Structures are given as structure tokens and as C-alpha cells.
């Protein structure tokens, strides 16, 4: 028992010793860790200080770099603007050189310098001086009236050598044998006598005795021909319109003839003796019956038929009146419908001519191209002239046709009114009887 107690005591002592040793070990370890903590904290502060310095230096460098970038960008923009301005100036210089070359070439051609004369001038300044001197001479020549001999075409187209009176470079007159007139350019520097005869006027002008206005034919240059526009006659216009134009003109003539015939017919139908109407109103039927016996006009025929039915019932008499008026409608409406039909057909024929003219124009374009406008004039003339003729025929035909139709309706109303008035007169007499 004692041994056991002793053994337990030893064990307890050993455990206490180990506990103290373990505590000491933990204390040493804690002290080491605290020392490490303090060292790391110190190192952290040093690193943070160094990092902050680097960040500040980096910010300063960044601000400097940004300022340098802004400055370089401004310099780049200025240089770009200068480059653009230099390119523009270069283009202006090239354009000016091109304009100068063009002006020199035009001056050379206009003033008629030969290659040998032109080669004498060395450099642009010399050429400009030469052109200015030539221009002054040209202006001096253009401001004078002078006589000279030259070539021109007669009215028959014959090239002759004759006398010329030149008004500067804008007008001239030609005198050859018994022909004297204004000259007009025909192209390639050639001139031709116009149709107007000025023999007496130019003789007085040449001798200095002329007083008054002198007709002139002004031109800008003789290198291009001038054609005097001639007014087309009616037949020439129809020929330019083609076959459809002849059809339209024929239709128009026929429409006008029918209008005239219809006008005469309606004029005859509208002729009514006013005394006869008064006699119908007062009841002098014997005189009325004698006057309408011949029945020359629609009024006579309707009134005559009404008089024949005076002894019949009212309904039968009115039926006869309406039948008589219906019988006159063919006469009163004669040619009315066909005139309106012609008025409607004429613009359609004009449209047909327009279509055929444009087709021929496109055929010419397909075959010859569009280089010469004169080749296209025939098709365009046909296209426009037929339209014009169609409207010229349609407008008066439609207007006159409607006017005659209104006139016809007035005559119908007059016939019905007078016949019913006569019928009412018969009804009153039957009632009084």
C-alpha cells in the first residue's frame, strides 16, 4: 500500500514538473511571437512608407506625362493644320498654274498667234505681256469701222471675193455685184450674206451720206455658224407632224364643217314669229293655223300637229304633242353627237402622234446616238406638233359642240312650252263651251 502511495506521489511530482516546463515553453514561444510581431509591424510601416513615396512619385510622373501628352497633342494639331494649309496652298498654286496655262492657251488661240510667234515669248510673264499687247490691238481694231476685201458666201452659196464693211469684230456687211447685205457667220470663220437687201443703205453709208438707223447682225465669233430661225408655215408644220397630223387636220376641218351646218340648222329651227306666239296666247287660232300650214320649221310642225288634235281629249292631245317633239329630236340633235366624238378623238390622235414621234426619236438615238440634235428634231417635232394640233382641234370642237347642244335644248323647251300653251288654250275653250 505504501508503495502504491509512493508511486502515485512520484507520478504527481513528475506531472507538476512537466506542467511547469510546458508553461515555460509556451511563454518563451509567446515572447518569440511577440518579438516577431513587432518586427513585422515595423517592416510593414517601412514598406508602407516606401510604397507611399513611390505612389507620390508615380503620380507626379503621371501628371508630368499627361501635361507632356497634352502639349504634344496641341503641337500635333498645329502641325496638322499647317500641313493641311500647305496642301491647300499647293492645290491653289497648282490650280492657279492650270488657270494661267488655260488663259495663256485661250489668249494664244483667240489672238491667233502662230507657233513661231508664240515661241518668241520666254516665260509666263513674257507671254502675258504679249497677250495683253495683242488684246490692246484687238480692242483697237474692234472699236473701228473699216473697209476691206474678203471672202464670203453669196445668198446662192457661192464663195466670192468682195468688199466688206466691218464694225469692229461684232458685225460686218458684204458687197458683191448687185448683192449687198449683212453678213452672218456660217462656221469655220466664214460669212454669208443674209436675205435682207441693203444695197442703197450701204452705198449711202460707204459714201458717208447715210442718216438713220443701220440694221446689223451681231455675232460673237465666226468659228460657229448661226442659223436664222424661220417661221414654219401651216403646211410645213403639218408635214413635220407626219401622217397623223394630216388625219387630225382633216378631222378638225370636218368637225368645223359639221358645226357650221348644225349652227345653220339650229338657227333655222329657232326662227319663230313672235306675232304668232302672241296670237296663240290671245286665241287667234285661225291665223295660227294658216301660218303653220306649210310646216317649214319644227315649230310649225309641232304647232300644226297640236292644232290637228284640238278636238281630242287632253291626254291624247298631249301624247300627240310629245310624239311631234320626239319626231323633231333627230333634226335638232343632228351632227351633235359626232361633233363631240371628234372633240374626244382629236387629243387621242395627238397622243398617238406623240407616242409614234418618241418611238422614231429613240430609233434615231439607237442608230446614231445623241451627238447631233438635228437628227432628233424630226421625231420630237412629230411628237409635239400632233399633240398641239389635237388640242387645237379638240378645244373649239368641244366648246362649240356643247354650245350648240345647249341651243338645241332651249329650242326643245320652247317647242314643248308653246305646244302645251296651245293645248291649254284648247282646254279652256272646251271648258267654257
Interhelix angle 2-111/123-142, nearest 10 degrees: 40
Q: Domains of the chain: which residue ranges?
A: 1-111, 145-226, 237-432
* Residues 286 and 301 sit within 8 Å (Cβ to Cβ): no
Residue with cell 464663195: 159
Rg (CA), the chain: 58
Q: Given this model, what pLDDT does residue 274 score?
A: 63
**Tell me, what DSSP letter sits at residue 177?**
T
Helices (H), 112-158: 115-120, 123-142
Q: Given this model, what pLDDT does residue 195 score?
A: 75
CA end-to-end distance (rounded Å), the chain: 187
Which are the contacts of 384, defined by CB distance < 8 A and separation ≥ 6?
354, 357
* Residues 354 and 386 sit within 8 Å (Cβ to Cβ): yes
Q: Given this model, what pLDDT does residue 287 score?
A: 57
* Residue among 270, 256, 258, 298 at smallest CA distance from 407: 270
Kindly report, residue by residue over 242-271, the tens digit of the pLDDT.
788 888 999 999 999 999 998 888 887 777
User: How remote is the C-alpha of 365 from its chain's centroid?
Assistant: 21
Q: Dihedral of CA 261/262/263/268: which sign? A: positive
Which three cell numbers mark 421?
300653251
Distance CA 420, CA 319 (A): 11
Distance CA 269, CA 404 (A): 12
pTM of the model: 0.50
Distance CA 40, CA 28 (A): 18
Which three cell numbers mark 24?
515555460
> How far are the Cα atoms of 160, 233, 241, 390 from residue 350, in angstroms, in the given order?
47, 19, 10, 5
* Residue among 190, 182, 244 at smallest CA distance from 218: 182
Q: Given this model, what pLDDT does residue 399 score?
A: 93
Distance CA 185, CA 190 (A): 6
Distance CA 289, CA 303 (A): 8
Q: Which residues, given as ranges, of the chain have pLDDT below 70?
A: 1-17, 111-112, 137-144, 146, 199-214, 223, 225, 227-232, 272-296, 300, 304, 306-311, 368-379, 426-433
Q: Given this model, what pLDDT does residue 402 score?
A: 92
Distance CA 288, CA 302 (A): 12
Kindly report, residue by residue over 145-186, the tens digit of the pLDDT.
767 778 888 877 778 888 777 777 777 777 777 777 777 787
Amino acid at each position: 500500500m505504501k508503495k502504491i502511495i509512493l508511486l502515485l506521489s512520484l507520478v504527481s511530482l513528475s506531472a507538476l514538473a512537466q506542467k511547469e516546463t510546458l508553461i515555460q515553453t509556451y511563454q518563451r514561444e509567446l515572447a518569440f511571437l511577440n518579438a516577431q510581431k513587432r518586427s513585422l509591424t515595423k517592416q510593414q510601416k517601412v514598406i508602407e512608407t516606401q510604397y507611399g513615396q513611390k505612389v507620390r512619385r508615380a503620380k507626379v510622373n503621371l501628371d508630368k506625362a499627361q501635361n507632356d501628352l497634352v502639349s504634344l497633342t496641341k503641337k500635333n494639331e498645329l502641325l496638322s493644320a499647317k500641313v493641311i494649309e500647305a496642301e491647300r496652298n499647293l492645290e491653289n498654286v497648282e490650280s492657279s498654274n492650270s488657270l494661267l496655262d488655260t488663259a495663256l492657251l485661250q489668249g494664244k488661240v483667240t489672238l491667233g498667234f502662230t507657233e513661231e510667234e508664240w515661241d518668241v515669248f520666254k516665260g509666263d510673264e513674257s507671254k502675258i505681256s504679249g497677250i495683253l499687247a495683242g488684246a490692246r490691238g484687238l480692242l483697237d481694231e474692234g472699236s473701228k469701222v473699216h473697209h476691206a476685201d474678203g471672202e464670203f458666201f453669196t445668198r446662192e452659196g457661192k464663195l466670192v471675193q468682195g468688199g466688206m464693211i466691218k464694225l469692229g469684230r461684232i458685225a460686218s456687211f458684204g458687197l458683191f455685184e448687185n448683192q449687198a447685205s449683212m453678213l452672218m457667220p456660217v462656221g469655220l470663220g466664214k460669212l454669208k450674206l443674209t436675205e435682207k437687201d441693203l444695197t442703197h443703205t450701204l452705198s449711202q453709208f460707204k459714201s458717208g451720206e447715210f442718216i438713220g438707223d443701220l440694221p446689223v447682225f451681231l455675232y460673237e465669233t465666226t468659228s460657229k455658224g448661226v442659223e436664222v430661225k424661220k417661221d414654219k408655215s401651216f403646211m410645213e408644220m403639218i408635214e413635220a407632224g407626219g401622217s397623223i397630223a394630216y388625219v387630225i387636220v382633216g378631222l378638225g376641218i370636218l368637225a368645223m364643217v359639221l358645226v357650221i351646218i348644225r349652227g345653220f340648222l339650229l338657227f333655222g329651227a329657232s326662227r319663230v314669229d313672235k306675232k304668232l306666239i302672241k296670237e296663240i296666247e290671245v286665241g287667234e287660232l285661225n291665223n295660227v293655223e294658216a301660218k303653220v300650214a306649210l310646216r317649214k320649221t319644227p315649230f310649225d310642225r309641232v304647232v300644226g300637229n297640236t292644232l290637228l288634235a284640238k278636238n281630242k281629249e287632253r291626254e291624247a292631245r298631249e301624247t300627240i304633242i310629245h310624239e311631234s317633239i320626239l319626231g323633231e329630236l333627230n333634226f335638232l340633235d343632228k351632227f351633235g353627237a359626232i361633233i363631240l366624238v371628234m372633240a374626244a378623238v382629236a387629243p387621242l390622235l395627238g397622243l398617238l402622234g406623240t407616242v409614234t414621234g418618241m418611238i422614231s426619236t429613240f430609233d434615231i438615238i439607237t442608230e446614231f446616238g445623241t451627238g447631233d440634235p438635228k437628227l432628233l428634231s424630226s421625231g420630237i417635232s412629230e411628237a409635239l406638233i400632233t399633240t398641239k394640233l389635237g388640242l387645237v382641234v379638240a378645244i373649239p370642237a368641244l366648246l362649240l359642240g356643247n354650245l350648240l347642244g345647249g341651243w338645241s335644248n332651249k329650242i326643245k323647251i320652247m317647242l314643248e312650252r308653246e305646244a302645251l300653251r296651245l293645248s291649254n288654250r284648247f282646254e279652256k275653250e272646251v271648258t267654257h263651251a
